[in-house]
Chains A and B, each alone.
Chain A
Amino acid sequence: MSTFRRRRKTPCGLLSGLLGVIAMATVAAQEGPGLGETPSPEMLAAWDIDIGPDGSGLPAGSGTAAVGETLYMTNCFACHGPEGEGLLNDRLAGGHGSLASEAPRKTVGSYWPYATTVFDYVRRAMPYLMPQSLTNDEVYALTAYLLYINGIVARDEVMDAETLPDVEMPNRDSFVIAYPRR
């Protein structure tokens, strides 16, 4: 593969070429041919959908549990049960205080450490049959509803880019980062 372009040049071309041959032959680290292109601002905006635990990436928009309840009954309850108790798929509510027992129940309320993750996950992956179909307002409202049925926020509390990162999840302090190697 003689077409690989060497990106970094040393002042002496002959020496550089010689070292380059040696490096290609003996060193595992390699350089690439530099074929990546600069993404457009539009592409970056459309693709950059993840939300950080500090709320970074949260979009404009807002919603409350009162609004979210209607959305939940339309989009979510068939798999997760009318009260978030779980049906075909995951239980979303309850389980508080169960984690240290023989029958732990991991739910958004009892287990999830960050409210921002709820927004991130619902927006990217739910509803299961139509992911990325909800508006940001709808995702905020559903997030608010899931927090509400877990007793974490009030029914009329507005969730938006300012308020969501400040929601204190009950199990937040129980997570221990075990990397590097536990």
Chain B
Amino acid sequence: MSTPEFPEEEHEQVAGNGLLHRRLFLSQGAALLSAGSLGLMTARPAAAQALDPWLLTPGLALSGYGERSPFEADVARTVLPVAGTTGSGASRTPLESLEGIITPNGLFFERHHAGIPEIDPERHQLLIHGLVERPLVFSMEALSRYPMESRIQFLECSGNSRPNLASTPPQESCGFLHGTVSCSEWTGIPLSILLDEAGVSSEASWLLAEGADAAAMTRSVPLAKAMDDALIALYQNGERIRPSNGYPMRLFLPGYEGNACIKWLRRIKLTSGPQMTREETSKYTDLQRDGRSLQFTFDMDVKSVITSPSFGLALNGPGLYQISGIAWTGAGRIRRVEVSADGGQTWAEAALSDPVLPKALTRFRMAWRYDGGAATIVSRATDEAGNVQPLRSDFMAANGPQVSYHNNSTQAWAIDSDGAVSNVYV
């Protein structure tokens, strides 16, 4: 693999071990780099001068619903069902194979508690009751006439990145380690509109959201969140939300842990306090070192991960590479992502790719001249509220051995002299 020629001033190193200035991505540098980052891609076959068959005959037929290239068939979620079930558990997004900020619908992570219900939208209804002036029930047809909004926002399971809580770093892909985060354009009805129609009582301060799955999954949600930016999501990336994401509708709470965003939403009950459901007492609570547990830790913290290079994506010799990754925060926008190529000794600021949206994945990129030796790359995000992603070592020191949820600490990848990438703790 040859390295493209660059004017020397474009090579300005900004941190140790070959990190280059982010302006490489802000002007013509990006175009130059596209040739230099090919080390991560399949090698081109030599001397293929005969015309390929797709040049010589008309291609496949039109279709009603498109399929990706069969050459991409191995880009798939990691499916990890709960023992004894096929539909409960999680599947994780292959972050290492994706670019940009939108997760394709077929690769959006899943987390179900009793499988995926096959709901007939003509029989599905949404009931709003409890501490309201007027209990109301809505058909899907009625909801289709309500004003809608569209937003690009991430969804993350609070158990994401749990594998890295293990005492030794699992040698697994980026998606296996961190793939219960995904990002879509969500379109739906602001929940506040429906609550206003029902007339929320002054005694109400929470609501219970219930799904139409076989777990009748329930979570209590603060009324303030419901009135702020909660969405009854009907569409995902332009098409009707898929069964695995709550068809025909799900609750979407921007920046909140995924399990609170009840899928297959069928009922909202206004209450004076949380109902203390199984999920918010025995499951999604944060056991502390002293044996106490924190409840209703909804907010997803500032976080980032380098998706490429990462485990399984070996570097193909020295040269210019693009470090690419995602950052996100439940607190709003990502302000800055720093990257280190020397295990955290020195840091440089990565380029953030537009759009940088609140509570969405943000793509960051960094030019890197890899010298072919050993290197450890790691990213660290800061959000607009000033929250800084903790190093894993600091996170583990601050939390007890009981920690299970909300691991937002850094991910480090070590690259050896053969270009192989492994998961390491820093």
A residues in contact (CB < 8 Å) with B: 1, 3-4, 7, 29-39, 43-44, 47-53, 79, 88-89, 99-100, 102, 104, 106, 108, 111-114, 116-117, 120-121, 124-125, 128, 131-132, 174-182
Contact = CB atoms under 8 A, between A and B. Distances in A.
9 contacts: A32-B194, A36-B198, A44-B127, A104-B287, A116-B276, A120-B277, A131-B214, A132-B216, A182-B294
A33 B145 contact: yes
Contact of A104 (B137, B274, B402): B402
A117 B281 contact: yes
Contacts of B47: none
A56 to B, nearest CB: 9
Interface of B: 82-85, 88, 113-114, 127-129, 134-139, 142-143, 145-147, 189-190, 192-194, 196-198, 208, 210, 214-216, 218, 222, 266-267, 269, 271, 273-278, 281-282, 285-287, 289-299, 401-402
Contacts of A104: 287, 402
B278 A30 contact: no
A36 to B, nearest CB: 3
User: Main SS of the interface on chain A?
Assistant: loop
B214 A37 contact: no
Contacts of A49: 216
Top 3 A-B residue pairs of the complex, sorted by shortest distance between their CB atoms: A36-B136, A100-B291, A35-B142
A112 to B, nearest CB: 5
A95 to B, nearest CB: 12
Given A48-B269, A175-B295, A182-B294, A99 B281 contact: no
B145 A3 contact: yes
A123 to B, nearest CB: 9
Contacts of B135: 38-39, 44
Nearest to A130: B214
B277 A121 contact: yes
Nearest to A118: B278
A4 B276 contact: no
Contacts of B277: 50, 117, 120-121
A174 B285 CA distance: 11
B73 to A, nearest CB: 32
A174 B136 contact: no
A39 B402 contact: no
A53 B289 contact: no
Contacts of B190: 30
Contact of B147 (A1, A51, A180): A1
